[in-house]
Structure 1
Amino acid sequence: MARLCCVAGRINDEDVAAVRERARIEDVVSSHVTLRGAGSGTLKGLCPFHEEKTPSFQVTPARGLYYCFGCGEGGDVITFVQRIDNLSFAEAVELLADRVGIQLRYDDAGPRVEPGARMRVLEANQAAMEFFQELLLSPEALPARQQLAGRGFDRDVAERFGVGYAPRGGRLLRTHLRAKGFSDEEMVRAGLVRESGYDFFQGRLLWPIKDAGRLVLGFGGRRLFDDDRMPAKYINTPETLVYKKSHVLYGLDLARTAIGKKSQAVVVEGYTDVMACHVAGVDTAVASCGTAFGADHAKLLQRLMGDHEAFGGEVIFTFDGDAAGQAAALKVFKEDRFFIGQTYVAVEPSGLDPCDLREQQGDAALRELIGTRRPLYRFVLANTISKFDLDRADGRVAALREAAPLVGSIRDDAVASGYARELAGMVGLDPDEVRAEVARVRRGGRRRDADPVEPADGGLPLRTLPDPRDRALAVERGTLKLMLQAPEVFGGDGAAAWDGVTADDFTHPAYRAVFVALSTAERAGNWSEAVRRAAADEVLDQLIVALGVEAVLREPSSGYAREYAARLRLLAVMRQIAELKSRLQRTNPVEDTTRYNRLFSELLELEERRRDLYQESSSLTE
């Protein structure tokens, strides 16, 4: 099996394993987190993924894993680089390979990029940013400074956001980077220079676009001169090894900490809007770069806000109140399934964007705009039904028919029911009539997407992870911890493998899925990685990492494993007994003697098995 790489085919698995082994997790994490010894070969520090005062972030070098007991983030050295630098799996492997000096092999035919290419692109971008920043103070850049001043931004603000100026000379950046040791090929690969040899950005006001780790991925440039041969008002760096517009958000480097701390993200439409928000005190503002806000952007914000059961955070979009703004809001509503938090919209009635609003009415007005946000669904529903005459019976019915598909598209039944109740009040119809129309739409297959897959037994969806403090699931969790950390202590093979434990012994679908993964994984090489690969699920990946680093209360041994397996199987038998007793109570022994006797015989067998398993597990005190 080989890993997919977006640029150079599929990375050979042996090379991935070599990178994971040679890139010591404690060395990589230490560049972002101050680690201190915590006993038992573990290291602790403050989590880089959420705000905390007491260290709950743990690194276990012997297993090559990290895990935060506060926010649930966890994984290996590759996962850490993915999370901290907002990279794909292949990009993280390539970055680490460059760092430890491993030349990767790619199994698929495709364009080849030499080791270190990605790092050179990042270094070229950094050098270009410094060059552009210096030139912002030059006489030639007066129109750029006037543009900033006209939007209410002084020199200090420009420096805070790294704003710069691309000169009109045509090849000045190329000459500068050559002197710094960069080749023409590296400059083209970074999107800084065209194949023709001319600078990509010329005569433009520039904003550096950085990732969460403050690495410069690319630039956005605004037109300043009428004779600019590029007609677009704004242009962005073309797609490169590091710049992929659907995966980046401008301002993320400045907003990341605040987003995690406040569980809030404000999404605006432009570079100056981001600047205006931050200057006004709205420090969670970001913007997409040269493309519409999409699924990958949403996933990025999800990671930063975290996944809290009680409060999933909120995403606030700023839209104009005109038809274009309403259309944009409807598009976001249709993609709202990507968000874990509640989605809101902040609309300025006069149509001013955040930057204009701050310039004309001050910082307080911009903060007030964000503070008076309204739920996105209410905004969308109100705009949908506003097209109809609700004073007429046929108008109310038409409005309902137009809005019902929007409500019917909501996957959460409880939320959809609440929306239907509000819609009934908006259109002036009986709530039962509205619910009936929503139900009809759902039955007609007009929903935007399929329901999430539920377990066959009707349990919780796999996206719902178990509470590690749930005592009712303690034996299931303890058994899996032992299986992941010391698989060699379990005996048996074939149907009796894992001391007779089966998937049916687990009640929580996530625990059951982990057991299925470890049952199919090969016991060779890195066991934890093999199980994670077999699971092939991002949510389960976090659970597997957590189970792999949580402490077990006794030294693993074959006897300890047998006791755990017996206790788990005992609980499963007790559930079967309870179900069988219920069936016996519903069976008339006179009218259905045969069935009653059969069920009674099964009950006796289960009771005997229960006694045996109780004896096997009697010394287990967890």
Structure 2
Amino acid sequence: MAGLIKREDIDEVRQRTDIKEVVDGYVTLKGAGLGSFKGLCPFHDERSPSFTVRPQVGRYHCFGCGEDGDAISFVQKMDHSSFHEAVEKLAARIGYELRYEDGGTGPSREEVGKRQRLLDAHKIADEFFRAQLLTPGAAEGRNFLDGRGFDRSAAEHFGVGYAPQGWDGLLKHLRGRGFTDAELKLTGMFSAGGPGNQQRIYDRFRGRLIWPIRDIAGDTIGFGARKLFEDDQGPKYLNTPETTLYKKSQVLYGIDLAKRNIAKERQLVVVEGYTDVMACHLAGVATAVATCGTAFGTEHIKVARRLLSDDGSGGEVIFTFDGDAAGQKAALRAFEEDQRFQAQTYVAVEPSGADPCDLRQLKGDSAVRDLISSRKPLFEFAIKASLRRHNLDTVEGRVAALREAAPVVAQIRDSAARPGYTRELAGWLGMPIEEVSRFVGGAAKRAAAGGSGEQSTTATAPPSSSPVFHRPDPRDPVAGMERQALEVALQDPAVLGGVSWERFEASHFATPAYSAVHAAIRATGLAHAADPVAWVEQIRQEVPEPLRSLVSELAVTPLPASTPEAMQRYCRDILARLFELQITRIKADKMGQLQRLDAGANPEEFQRLNRELMQLEMERRALRSDG
């Protein structure tokens, strides 16, 4: 069982990972000064690039929306993965074997290598199937897509392919790319037949239309295949069986394409099949996903909640089901899982029973959008479904319906919505509101007494004692000077060596936010500056939480220098100006003391202050001369 990853290993992964290489997989970056790169922010819509990456300090910062972090947090946000998963992914990327606390284990280097081989095989198979869709033998597959309103560009966008008829088309292709039969057996793309030890493997998917099933990071981990020919004795849809990569209880088809829209719009639409996902996305409902041959369950909900930022502050999950009995049964299964969501749950059922793919063909894209917008609360759907099982024309039927529906109403978390549904139920049954309320209240008490035993973990948070920092005024010349000095200190700490560090430590920062960052740099100490990535991260941990984004911003702001020599001159000049500012401040203090002093009464003190003022002026002139 995996345990907590050792802290030193996390630091090692952070230090060894080239953040530019990681970000390059998602964002097109261009040079933005010495050691800095810029691109369009992946976290908000923008036309001018404000997303800045500085590999030397291992951080990124968007000057448009304020998002910031290191390589680990970038992978977390882009792939919507946990911290643990992001560290493991980056460790695998650099070939670093992680260690775990308390005897826990993680994937060994050998296991990571095997997983990568499986991913490579799926990637090559994906490319093979897509190429096959363009061959003469795939005419039936192209006709299927065309008949459902999907043109070539749609097929390419969703990666749809074709598995040729025959027994070894894919097998020969992958063997030719260096994969052994032992490796191929683990992919789920092949079946085995023959007596005992003489079993041979052959293509699992033959003469079928193929959809690649990808994980949230976009890696192909399995396939779904649709029957095209009457002589195919297999099921209508055939999916990859369970493998080390493909766990159907955790997989959502289309999640790789929908994840950003789900996170942005805080909406998840669950449909039933591959073509329904395609239809929804092409119609403008780009938050649609589908399960792969299984009900929407607990593991799917974990993925959904992470994408939705399901913390009770908003978001919606919309289930679309066929209007037939099976569709209603699926909706009620979804209702049973509703309590796991903080987001509001809805159901959208087309009265005619058409699924999104059929609906798009018959009535166009707008009809698909209208179906989603016509959603009804899942509670309402579940209550009405329970009522339909009883004869409401009789007293006995109405009482039986009330007994079944009352526990459903009692489950409604929203205390403001529960009385409303109680009144609705009374109206649907034609019964007095008092009687229905009594039944609902009784059901709620029974659930509380003998329910799951779970206790609410919601508590009133104590008032925050964190100091409030205001954004420094960019027009303030002193604040501007202090900001430039901190940018230099964070990005090129080597320039602080020797006497410069003592002067920097003794410097006074007048701007509260910059003063806090300066204090964190002093507390961290120059000894840690040999590793710029760790240096910046330690300083981030030292400042109050509201200022951590500011530290990232200062650490990645491009400095105005195009060569290492120019950079060195710029950094020295900025520090000289900072130290000159400090000398000017100290001189003003001493001048004040001198003016208040009675020279006749205390001549020694008068002479001492004059000598110190002369020494400070010499230091100031030397700094200016060096600059």
Q: What is the distance in 1 between the residues matched to 2:120 and 2:24?
A: 21
1:239 aligns with 2:233: no
Tell whether the 8 Å contact from 1:211 to 1:248 is kept in structure 2 after alignment.
yes
Deviations 1:175-211 (A, max 9, x none): 2122223333443333333464322322221001223
The secondary structure found in structure 2 opposite 1:206 is: strand
Q: 1:61 to 1:340 in 2, by over 3 A?
A: farther
SS at match of 1:198: strand
Structure 1 pair 362–38 and aligned structure 2 pair: CA distance change class (3 A): closer
Q: Does residue 269 of structure 1 match 2:268?
A: no
Q: Rate the CA distance shift 1:436–1:88 in 2: closer, same or farther, 3 A.
A: same
Partner residue of 2:147 out of 138, 146, 150: 150
2-side partners of 1:296 and 1:67: how far apart?
A: 33
Task: Give the C-alpha shift of residue 220 in structure 1.
Answer: 0.7
SS of alignment partner, residue 170 of structure 1: coil
Q: Does the CA-based 8 Å contact 1:67-1:546 persist in structure 2?
A: no
Identify which range, 111-120 or 330-339, moves more after superposition.
Answer: 111-120
CA distance in 1, matches of 2:430, 2:382: 17
Q: Partners in 2 of 1:306 and 1:54 — Cα distance?
A: 27
Query: Is the 1:50–1:257 contact (alpha carbons within 8 Å) kept by the matching residues of 2?
Result: no
TM-score scaled to structure 1, two decimals?
0.65
In the alignment, the residues of structure 2 paired with residue 408 and residue 224 of structure 1 have an alpha-carbon distance, to the nearest angstrom, of: 48
Pairwise CA distance, 1:133: 1.1
**1:197 match: secondary structure:** strand
CA 1:190–1:157: 2 relative to 1, 3 Å: same
Match of 2:464, SS state, is helix
Structure 2 stretches of 5 or more lacking a match? 193-199, 470-532, 553-627
- 1:561-600 aligned at under 5 Å gives the runs none
Alpha carbon RMSD of aligned pairs, Å? 4.4
- Looking at structure 2, the residues matched to 550 and 245 of structure 1 have their Cα atoms a distance apart, in angstroms, of 42
TM-superposed deviation, 1:406: 1.1
Task: Tell me the residue number matched to 2:460.
Answer: 459
Alignment partner of 1:204 is 2:208: yes
Q: Alpha-carbon deviation of 1:387?
A: 2.6
Shift of 1:21: 3.3
Q: Is the contact made by 1:389 and 1:395 (CA closer than 8 Å) also made in structure 2?
A: yes
Letter in 1 for 2:305: Q
1:50–1:260 contact (8 Å) kept in structure 2:
no
Instruction: In structure 1, give the amino acid aligned to 2:348.
Output: A
Write the distance in 2 (CA, Å) between the matches of 1:430 and 1:68. 59
Match of 1:223 in 2: 227
Cα-to-partner distance string for 1:28-51 (whole Å, 9 max, x where unaligned): 235434679999x99987653555
Give the drift of 1:54: 8.6
Distance 1:38 1:139, change over 3 A: closer
Match of 1:429 among 408, 428, 431: 431
The whole-number CA distance in structure 1 between the counterparts of 2:397 and 2:74 is 55
Matched, 1:173 2:163: no
- Segments of 5+ residues of structure 1 without an aligned counterpart are 5-9, 461-465, 467-471, 479-524, 531-540, 553-622
Q: 1:545 to 1:151 in 2, by over 3 A?
A: farther
- The answer to whether the 8 Å contact 1:318/1:347 transfers is yes
- C-alpha change, 1:109 and 1:101, in structure 2 (3 Å) is closer
1:165/1:296 Cα in 2 relative to 1: closer, same or farther (>3 Å)? same
Structure 2: how far apart are the matches of 1:87 and 1:475? 29
Matches of 2:467 and 2:394, distance apart in 1:
60
Match of 2:158 in 1: 161
From 400, 408, 411, the equivalent of 1:409 is 411
What's the CA shift for 1:128? 0.9
Quote the residue 2:464 is aligned against.
473
Q: Is the 8 A contact 1:267 1:285 kept in 2?
A: yes
2:96 maps to what in 1?
A: 102
CA shift digits 1:376-413 (9 cap, x unpaired): 21111112123333344443332221111112223333
Distance in structure 1 (CA, Å) of the matches to 2:184 and 2:46 = 40
Matches of 2:70 and 2:453, distance apart in 1: 33
Matched residue, 2:597:
none
Q: Check the 8 A contact 2:19/2:70 in 1, yes or no.
A: yes
Q: Is the 8 Å Cα contact of residues 15 and 534 (structure 2) preserved in structure 1?
A: no
Contact 1:316 1:344 in 2 (8 A): yes
Distance in 2 between residues matched to 1:205 and 1:33, nearest whole Å = 32
Taking the aligned partners of 1:173 and 1:351, their CA distance within structure 2 comes to 38
Shift of 1:140: 2.4
Between the aligned partners of 1:50 and 1:95, the Cα distance in structure 2 is 24
- Find 1:345's aligned residue among 344, 347, 365: 347
Q: Once the two structures are superposed, what CA deviation does each residue of 1:141-200 show, in whole Å capped at 9, x if it has no partner?
A: 232223223323233322222111112322221221222233334433333334643223
Paired residues of 1:86 and 1:211 also in contact (CA < 8 A)? no
Q: Does 1:285 align with 2:288?
A: yes
Cα distance between partner residues in 2 of 1:292 and 1:71: 38
CA distance in 2, matches of 1:391, 1:33: 63
Q: Distance in 2 between matches of 1:389 and 1:94?
A: 57
Instruction: Report SS of the residue matched to 1:153.
Output: coil
What is the match of residue 421 of structure 2?
419
Shift of the alpha carbon at 1:256? Answer: 3.0
User: 2:204 and 2:438 mapped to 1: Cα distance?
Assistant: 57
Q: Distance in 2 between matches of 1:31 and 1:420?
A: 52
Retained in 1: the 8 A contact 2:312–2:343?
no
Aligned identity (percent) is 53
Q: How many Å apart are 1:270 and its aligned residue?
A: 0.4
Q: Equivalent residue for 1:602?
A: none
Task: Tell me if the contact between 2:80 and 2:307 (Cα under 8 Å) persists in the aligned partners.
Answer: no
1:301 match? 304
Contact 1:95-1:119 at 8 Å conserved across structures:
no
Residue 324 of structure 2 is aligned to residue 322 of structure 1 = yes
Q: CA deviation at 1:225?
A: 3.2
SS of structure 1 residue aligned to 2:249: helix
Relative to structure 2, which stretch is displaced further, 301-310 or 319-328?
Answer: 301-310
Is contact 2:163-2:209 (8 Å) kept?
A: yes
Residues in 1 aligned to 2:300 and 2:265: alpha-carbon distance in whole angstroms? 18
Higher relative contact order (CA 8 A, sep 6+): 2
TM-score normalised to the size of structure 2?
0.65
State the Cα distance separating 1:443 from its structure 2 match.
1.7
Q: Return 334-343 or 442-451, whichever deviates more.
A: 442-451
Structure-2 change in CA distance of 1:417 and 1:89 (3 Å): same
Q: Residue 363 in 1 paired to residue 354 in 2?
A: no
> Which structure has the larger Rg?
2
Corresponding residue number in structure 2 for 1:21: 15
- Alignment size in residue pairs: 481
